[in-house]
Structure 1
């Protein structure tokens, strides 16, 4: 039975596809988007995290996890190896015994497909006529065997499926996953490949090619193309128009939407929990600028939401 690593299972989501959904967040992503709101999903192995708000600063972790160089300094819990290397952190059992409030916690847990299917079947009565399972992350395509096995089992149990993905993978992987998907959400951040690589760590030719093929070869799948509007990256009419022109040939395809997402800073506390610096600093995007760019998108492409 296939097994994979997951950071979170969120129930009753209304934001990750149509209807009421259970969202499974895969751990591991090939990109390093500087505005990423889920940094805990970037690395492919478990990590140690710390939540300031629930920490009693009792020192229990310092006493019980001394061999991992846990320390309490300046009202913060720290650990010796902050590189995130696999094997440099305590086990879940050790952390549970050491921290009474679960302020110190392990991010990332292995699940078998059968375990997740049992959870989904319990939630199935709440999915109504449109809801179901959404794979998110991280990047589900980076754990392709696990993702495909989970989707096939879900479909076999009458559960509708959706995915949130970068579409960055070999075409055979993308094609296999898409064949088990009802609702497909993917980003086009910027058309300029050099700019894309500067801000995400990778070029975009592969994902753009995959999106073109998906739109042409999967006519029955509902696609939602998302563009996060990021200050200093694509917050200008030229960048938005370029994406609109890329999508224009598919405008009459049906079951295709384009959504602009306003930049936010909701992920900043997660960087603190991982002892990482937030790469975007203090930049903001005004509502007026976002509204202006959304109008530009609507001018270029009819079905903007």
Structure 2
């Protein structure tokens, strides 16, 4: 039985697949999107986050740290990530829970047990489990095993993926998936690399291959709309035109930018680069949606704005 690193299991989601969903967030992602709302998901291994507002300055963490990675400057706690080896001793002695471990190793059975607790809701309201991240494809063995287990229990399954990973894993996973949420960040390869750290060629290739393999419409393309970065009418138009070539796409969803994950960056000693960016105007989102709709309509592909 495989183990995976999970950083959150969220109940009762309504935006990540049909019906009421259980979201399982897996750690690890090869992309570094500037707007990432889950920066704690990017490294595969568990890591320590510091909730500074809870810290009372007792310095118990500093005293117990064997790596001397923790220090205080004018009463403010500092963690040197280069020295920290995630031994978690500081977490154990923290009396205010200002230190928390992001990510927990779990077996397939342990995660499945959590999923099955929500099975009565799936049966009554329609729903199932969605695997997100991070990038679920990075923990391929764990993902494939738990997808198979879920299908054995008759649970509706979905995945949220950047598409940046091994096609063979994506192809095998698709055999056990009812819905595939596939992100397209930008159609221009150079811009895509600037925004995410990687080229979009592998992503586009994987989406085309997956489309050719599928015999039904089970792909939902998602575009995070980031003002000033990928929200041009041209980019939305090019993305919609690309989608018209793919018979397995049933819907395009536009996700307006939000900064709800900004506070997480400070907790893991990282800077948030989009601090000045504001959520896109609602009327402009409708305009982008209508541009896409006019292109997608004749191909029977829906388009909507998905609000968080």
**TM-score with structure 2 length normalisation?**
0.90
The equivalent of 1:35 in structure 2 is 35
| Other structure's SS at 1:235 match | coil
- More divergent stretch after superposition (278-287 vs 226-235): 278-287
Q: How much has 1:119 moved relative to structure 2? A: 1.6
| Deviation by residue 1:53-106 (Cα, 9 ceiling, x = unmatched) | 4333333323333644323334533212x24x8x62223xx2443112222011
Change (3 A) 1:201 1:255: closer
Could you tell me which runs of 5 or more consecutive residues in structure 1 were left unpaired when the two chains were aligned: none
1:131 and 2:127 matched = yes
Q: 2:184 aligns with which of 184, 188, 204?
A: 188
- Answer whether contact 1:68 1:89 (CA < 8 A) is retained: no
Cα separation, 1, equivalents of 2:258 and 2:117: 33
Count of paired positions: 298
CA RMSD in angstroms comes to 1.9
- Answer whether contact 1:27 1:108 (CA < 8 A) is retained: yes
1:200-239 aligned at under 5 Å gives the runs 200-220=196-216, 222-239=218-235
The equivalent of 2:243 in structure 1 is 247
| Deviation by residue 1:93-124 (Cα, 9 ceiling, x = unmatched) | x2443112222011111111111112222221
The equivalent of 1:292 in structure 2 is 287
1:265 and 2:259 matched = yes
Cα separation, 2, equivalents of 1:286 and 1:107: 30
Cα separation, 2, equivalents of 1:95 and 1:218: 49
The equivalent of 1:104 in structure 2 is 99
| Other structure's SS at 1:29 match | coil
Cα separation, 2, equivalents of 1:257 and 1:135: 19
- Answer whether contact 1:68 1:88 (CA < 8 A) is retained: no
1:283 and 2:277 matched = yes
1:90 and 2:84 matched = no
| Other structure's SS at 1:304 match | strand
Cα separation, 2, equivalents of 1:90 and 1:47: 9
Cα separation, 2, equivalents of 1:114 and 1:8: 16
1:49-88 aligned at under 5 Å gives the runs 49-65=49-65, 67-80=67-80, 82-83=81-82, 88=85
The equivalent of 1:122 in structure 2 is 117
Could you tell me which runs of 5 or more consecutive residues in structure 2 were left unpaired when the two chains were aligned: none
The equivalent of 1:24 in structure 2 is 24
| Other structure's SS at 1:260 match | strand
- Answer whether contact 1:182 1:221 (CA < 8 A) is retained: no
Q: How much has 1:169 moved relative to structure 2? A: 1.6
| Deviation by residue 1:20-76 (Cα, 9 ceiling, x = unmatched) | 111111110010011111000001112110113433333332333364432333453
**TM-score with structure 1 length normalisation?**
0.91
